Chains A and B, each alone.
Chain A
Amino acid sequence: MKVLMNGCDAIVQAALDSECTFFAGYPITPATPILLQMIRELPKVGGVAIQGEDEITSMGLCIGAVMTGARALTATSGPGMSLYSENLGLAIMAEVPMVIVDVQRMGPATGAATTTAQGDIQFLRWGTSGGYPLIVLCPTNVEECYNLTCLAFELSEKYRVPVILATDKETAATLQTVETDLFKKCPPPIRETADTGKPYKPYAVKDPAGVPQMAHFGGEQLVRFNTSTHDPAGYMTKNPAEIEALNTHLADKIEAHREELEFTETDIQDGAETLVISYGVTARSAGTAVKQARAAGRKVSFLTIHSLWPVPEKAVRMALEGVQEIIVAELNHGQYRREIERLAGETRSVVGVHRVDGDLITPEQILQEGGLA
C-alpha cells in the first residue's frame, strides 16, 4: 500500500517495530523530527523519550539506559556527532548496543544550515580515539531508512556495538511516496542476557571474535561496566596480555565478520568497462544516470553501498572485475573515493563526481563528469 512518508518517519517506525524503548536526543535540524516523534510515540508503548541538555548528555542517558535493559536510539546531525564522539568511544570500548542516526547536513561546523551533504562519511568511522571499528549503514531512500534501521538494531545487538545510520537531510526530510510492501519484516532482535546462577563475567568471550553476554543493572547478576581497559570481569587492567586481548577482541568482533556485514546492491552489465559506485541519496541519481547511459548504448555496471563501514571489500572487488574506469559519486570532496581507490589499484582510473554547494548531484552531472554522456 502507498503512503507518504519521509526518512525520519520511517526511522521512527522501524525503531518502534524493533521494540526500541529509550530515546534521548537534542534538537538539531534536520534530525529533530525523530526526537519529536519519539517523544510522542515512545510513552505509548511504555518507553522513555527525553530531550537531553546537550548531545553529550543524550548519549550518556542512552548508554546508562541500555545497560539497565533498554533498547536505545538517538539521532543528531554533524555538529551533534562531534559531541557524540567521546561517548561513541565509550560505547565501543564498553560494548553498548545502540543505534545512532546521523542526518547529515552541510559542514564543516554549523555549515550552511540546513542543506544536505554526505560529509561525515570518514568522520563516522574515525571520529573517536583509538580507531576501533563500528558499523555504519547508509540508506538511499525512505524504504531503506526503515529496513536499515531494523538491521541497525539487529546488528547492534548481535555485535554489542553502536551502529550508525548515516542518512542525509534530503532523504530524512523529503516527503516521498512509499510502498510499505517494500518494508522488510522487522522482528525485534533478541538480546541474550546472561543466565542466572553462574558466576558472571561481563566481558568474558569464548574467542576474540565472540561477543560477551549482557546482563542488566538491577537484574540477577552484578554488572561491572568499564570504559577503561578492563579484564573479563570488568576490572581496570594494565596487564599487557589483558590489554592486548581486549583490543584484539574489539577489532576482531567486527573484522572477523566483515563478510556478514556487507550490504550492497550490485547491478553488473556484461562487458562493462565502467563501474558507477554511490551510496545514500546520491545513489538514486547514480541509478538514473546508469539507466540513461545504458539507454544510450553504454555498458555500465552499478554498485550501491548500504554498509559503508566496514568497507564491503568483497562486493567492491567483485564489482571491479573487468572494469577499467570507476566513477564514485558523493556529496563531499571524495571521502569514500579514497576507499575505492585503495581497492581499485593503480591500473584502473577512479573519477570522483562531487558537489558541495548544498544541492544534489543530478544524473546529468554524473553523465557529464563521469564521461558517460
Chain B
Amino acid sequence: MTVPKIETYFDEDRLPLPFCPGCGHTIILQKLNEALVDLQLDPHKVVLVTDIGCSGLSDKFFTTNTFHGLHGRSLTYASGIKLQNPKLEVLVIIGDGGCGIGGQHLLNAARRNIGIKVLVFNNFNYGMTGGEHSVTTPPGMRTATTPAGQLEQPLDICRTVAVNGASYARRTTTFDKELRSHILETISTEGFALLDIWELCTSYFAPRNRLSRKQMEKTLEELSFPTGVIVQRSKPEFSRAVHQAAEQQKGIPLSRPVEFPVLYEHNLSKRKGLILAGDAGTKIGSAARIFCSAGLYAGLHTSQRHDYPVTVQSGFSVSEIVLSPSAIEHPGVDQPAWVIALFPAGLKKILPIIHELPPESTVYLDASLPDVETSASVFRLDFTSAGRAAKRRENHALTALAAFIQHAGLFDLQALEDATGLRKAFAEQNLEAVQAGKTLLQG
C-alpha cells in the first residue's frame, strides 16, 4: 500500500496566517511547510513546539502534533518529548525574546546535543508587547525600551550554540532564496540544530529603525556576525545516548532495603535517646547506621537523624539515635540517656546538651578530650590501650558503640557483629572495630 503524498502541512481551514503585512514570520512558516512537504514526515511523528510571542501563534496552522508552552521554555518541553521518544521529530519555533528568557535552556540543549530542531524567528524586538528590545537588538537601534538606542551587545545565538556543542547552526534571513533548503537541512540534522533567521518586524522594529533588507545585511556586516553555516558536525545525539546507556542497566534488580529478622533479645523497657558525636571523616554516620541495624536484629525500633555542616569533610558529624521497644512515634531525641563524644568538633557541637543532662544520663568521652561540666556520669574511652584496630581514628565510633552496648547491657554484642556484615566492602574492618570494643571499658 502506498501512502498518499502529503501536499501541505498547513491546516487550510485555519489559513490565512495572521501576521502583519510584510512580517517575516509568514515567509518562514511558508518555507517550513514546503520543507515538511519535501520531507514527507508522518504528522503523527512530528511535534511542533512553540512558546510565547507572535511566533507562538504558529503551531495552530499545522496538522502535526503541537505543544504551545510558556515563554522561553519550549526547549525544555521539546527536550522532554525527545528524551521520552527519540524517534519523534521535535521542532521548536522560538523568538529572539524566547532565546533571552530561555537562554539557559538554549545553552544546555546545545551542550547536550539533544536532537531538537530550533527555528529562531529573530526580529530583534518583542513584537507582541509593543516593540521592546531583546537580547538580539543591534547596538544603537531604537525600541520601546531603548529610547537612546540599544547600549547592550547583542547575543550571537549561532556562535553561542556552536561553541557549546550544537551539531548544526546556520544564520540566514527571510530574504535568502535557499531558506526552504536551510530549514530542510536543519530538520535533517540528527543532533541539536538551530537556524537563526533574521527578519523584519514591520509594525515596530523596521519602521522605528528604517530597517530594510539592505540595512539588515549591513548590520550583520558591522557586527561581524557571519552568515551561512556556523557549525556542522556529526556527534552522538543525546536522547539516543541516554537510552543506549540505560539499555546496559536494564534488568539489574532494583535496590530494595535489607529486611531484619529479630535474632536477639534486648533489655530496653522504654524509649531512650543516644547521641554519637564526632568529626567529619570519622564514620559517625555509618557507625550509627550499623548500630541501628543491630538494634533491629535485637527486636528494637531505631531511628537515626544525622547532622553535619554544609562542608562534608570538615567540622562536626553528629548522629541522634532513638531506641524503643515499640514503634517510634514522635521524632527527635529530647534528653538523651546516653552521649558518646569522640572528637573535638562533635563535642563542641553537643556541649550545650551535655551541660543539661540529668544525673541518670551517661556520657562516654574520649580520653583525650577535656573534662565536661555535667551532672551525668562520665566514662572515659581510651582507644590507645585497646589494641591496633581500636587505635584507627575511623574505627573509634564503632568501637565505642560496641563498648557502650556491653556497658549499658543493651543487647547481645553479636547483633552488632552481624550488622557489620551488611556493608561488604568494609565488613572486615568494621568487625575488627567492634571486637576491639569488647575490652575498651574493662577495668
Contact = CB atoms under 8 A, between A and B. Distances in A.
Interface stretch (A225-233, A247-255, A302-310): A225-233
B84 A64 contact: yes
Contact of A174 (B44, B105, B108, B305): B305
Contacts of B246: 42-43, 46-48
Interface stretch (A53-61, A148-156, A320-328): A53-61
Interface string B57-90: 1011001111111100101111111111101100
Nearest to B73: A60
B85 A217 contact: yes
A61 B28 CA distance: 27
Nearest to B52: A228
B70 A362 contact: no
B81 A174 contact: no
4 nearest CB pairs, A to B: A64-B80, A60-B76, A43-B249, A43-B246
B260 interface: yes
Interface string B361-393: 000000000000000000000000000000000
B129 interface: no
B260 A3 contact: yes
A22 B70 contact: no
B85 A2 contact: no
Interface residues of B, number: 72
Contacts of B261: 1
B252 interface: yes
Interface in A38-73: 40-48, 50, 52-54, 56-57, 59-70
Would you call the interface of chain A mostly helix, strand, loop, or mixed?
A: mixed
Nearest to A226: B68
Most chain B CB atoms below 10 A, which of A65, A69, A175, A287: A175
Given A44-B254, A220-B44, A64 B260 contact: no
Contact of B73 (A56, A228, A235): A56
Interface string A170-199: 110111111110000000000000000000
A50 B255 contact: no
A60 B66 contact: no
A16 B305 contact: no
Given A60-B80, A217-B47, 13 more contacts: A3-B257, A3-B259, A43-B249, A48-B242, A53-B104, A57-B105, A61-B83, A64-B82, A113-B310, A173-B306, A175-B304, A217-B65, A363-B330
12 contacts: A45-B254, A50-B242, A57-B76, A65-B81, A65-B84, A177-B296, A217-B67, A222-B63, A226-B66, A226-B68, A281-B331, A288-B329
B301 interface: yes
Contact of A16 (B76, B254, B292, B306): B254
A9 B257 contact: yes
Given A64-B84, A236-B60, A4 B66 contact: no
A160 to B, nearest CB: 16
Contacts of B105: 53, 56-57, 60
A280 B288 CA distance: 25
B65 A222 contact: yes
Contact of B331 (A4, A70, A285): A285
Contacts of A175: 289, 292, 303-306
Which of B44, B82, B245, B300 lies at the interface centre, i.e. has the most chain A CB atoms within 10 A of its CB? B44
B21 interface: no
A208 interface: no
Contacts of A60: 69, 73, 75-77, 79-80, 105
Nearest to A285: B330
Contacts of A222: 43-44, 63-65
Given A50-B242, A57-B76, A218-B85, A4 B108 contact: no
Contacts of B330: 284-285, 287-288, 360, 362-363
B45 A2 contact: no
A9 to B, nearest CB: 7
Contacts of A45: 250, 254
Contacts of B242: 48, 50
B410 to A, nearest CB: 15
Given A174-B305, A287-B330, A69 B108 contact: no
